[in-house]
Amino acid sequence: MKFPVFPPEASEVARHTDHLLFALLTISAITMVVVFGPMIYFLFKYRRGNKADRTPVELPEMKIEITWTVIPTIVFVGLFAWGARVYWRIERPPADAMEINVVGKQWMWKIEHPEGNREIDELHVPVGRNIKLTLASQDVIHSFFLPAFRVKQDVVPGRYTTLWFRADKIGTYHLFCSEYCGTHHSAMTGSVIVMPPEAYEQWLKQGAPGPSMAQEGEKLFREYGCSGCHVNSTIVHAPPLNGLFGRTVPLQTGKFVTADEAYLRDSILIPSKDIVAGYTNDMPSFQGHVSEEDLLKLIAYIRSLSDTTPQQEGAEAK
């Protein structure tokens, strides 16, 4: 009979998490010895009827209390720092990551690669590359959980969340939805398939040779009428979008924001929220008119207008 104790360790972060686990296990073992050891000894030695010296003794209570307050506090601060280090690494995606979009809905994961390849409940990735997922939900809160990489991130409707990992072992690994999302929550599972880089390129080409996300986004940009105002309009004064992505934008309120995915999404769905300085609140809201997937395509297109998409950077770096 097999008694698995660890999921596969398929990334560096996984190894860091496992090391943290070992540290915690060690401290637990020591604590249990330090606490249960004397306890069992006392229970044995001082059990009723057993001869022992029970004369009340004046112990230095304050010193003892302070000692066993301070030592655990120090240990806990150490554990906090270790956990924080692992967390810092998990939560901050590297700048050169390959970006893939994920839309979760009851009860499936829809994945779209920037090249246009689409998959359901499966995520093909090349080994040894940083992968950054932009996660969106079409309905309720889900959570994208990859035990082999020891990472998860809740997928929240109304906003984007991100998760990154770097697989260093080829194989197929579990993908679980880990935030209860309704009837078939336990069926909202899938796999991450980590392939050698050439096999991945092969897979991309074979997959769905069609328009990239940015190209589809360009089509949508015209269909939804965005170009009517945002491209050389003589009637409406709308902020230009060339080179916008990643720039700092001054707002009417005097604050500054970075034009990232969340900003673009909010601008399309809640245009009155962050009005650009020097412009008026005229843009209609597209809430309810644009699906999550279309939103991601539009954003991919707008990003392509800045020539800063990681695809190109990554390609150049290679």
Partner 1 sequence: MNTAMPIESPEPLREERVPKNYITESRTLKSWLFTTDHKRIGILYLFSILFYFIIAAIAAALMRMELITPAGDMVTSETYNKLFTIHGTLMVWFFLIPSIPAVLGNFVLPMMLGARDVAFPKLNLLSWYLFNAGGLLAVYAVTFGGVDTGWTFYTPYSSTFSNSHVVEMAAGVFVAGFGTILTGLNFIITTHKLRAPGMRWFRMPLFVWSLYSTSVIMILATPVLAMTLALMSIERIWGVGIFDPRLGGDPILFQHLFWFYSHPAVYIMILPGMGVMSELVTCFSRKPIFGYHFVAFASVAIAIMGFLVWGHHMFTSGQSIYAGLVFSFLSYMVAVPSAIKVFNWTMTLYRGSISFATPMLYALGFMGLFTIGGLTGLYLAAVGFDVHVQDTYFIVAHFHYIMVGGMVTAFMGGLHYWWPKITGRMYPEKLGQLAALIMYLGFNLTFFPQFILGYLGMPRRYHAYAPEFQIYNVMSSAGASILGVGYLLPLLYFLWSLKYGKKAPANPWKATGLEWQTPSPPPKHNFVETPVVTGPPYQYSAEAAEAEFTANEKGEAYG
Partner 2 sequence: MADAHAALQEQFEEMPQQKEAATLGMWAFLATEVLFFGAMFMSYIVYRTTYPQAFAEASHHTIVLFGTINTAILLTSSFTVAMAVHAARQNNIKWLFRLLAITVFFGLAFLAVKGLEYHEDLNENLWPGPHFKSELPPQAQIFWILYWIMTGVHAVHVTVGVVLLSIMAWMTSRRKFSDAYYTPIEISALYWHFVDIIWIYLYPLLYLIHRYSA
Q: Which of residues 243-302 bind partner 2 (CB under 8 A)?
A: 253, 270, 272-273, 275, 281, 285, 287
Smallest gap from Cβ 273 to partner 2, in A, equals 6
CA pair distance 28, 282, nearest whole angstrom: 60
- Give me the phi and psi of 181, to 5 degrees please: -135, 20
H or E stretch covering 227 = helix 226-230
Smallest gap from Cβ 252 to partner 2, in A, equals 8
* Number of chain residues interacting with partner 2 (CB under 8 A): 8
Smallest gap from Cβ 217 to partner 1, in A, equals 22
Task: Kindly give, in sequence order, each residue whose CB lies less than 8 Å from that of residue 211, ignoring residues fewer than 6 positions away.
Answer: 116, 219
* Partner touching 281 among partner 2, partner 1, none, CB below 5 to 8 Å by kind: partner 2
CA pair distance 224, 130, nearest whole angstrom: 33
Pairing of strands 171-177, 142-146: antiparallel
Q: Report which of 227, 174, 214 is spatially closest to residue 14, judged by C-alpha positions.
A: 174
Amino acid at 310: P
Give the residue with the Cβ less far from partner 1, 252 or 272: 272
CA pair distance 223, 211, nearest whole angstrom: 16
Give the residue with the Cβ less far from partner 1, 22 or 278: 22
Give the residue with the Cβ less far from partner 1, 5 or 315: 5
Give the residue with the Cβ less far from partner 1, 1 or 120: 1
Smallest gap from Cβ 255 to partner 1, in A, equals 17
CA atoms in the 13 A half-sphere facing the CB of 74: 6
* Partner touching 171 among partner 2, partner 1, none, CB below 5 to 8 Å by kind: none
Q: Which residues bind partner 2 (CB under 8 A)?
A: 253, 270, 272-273, 275, 281, 285, 287
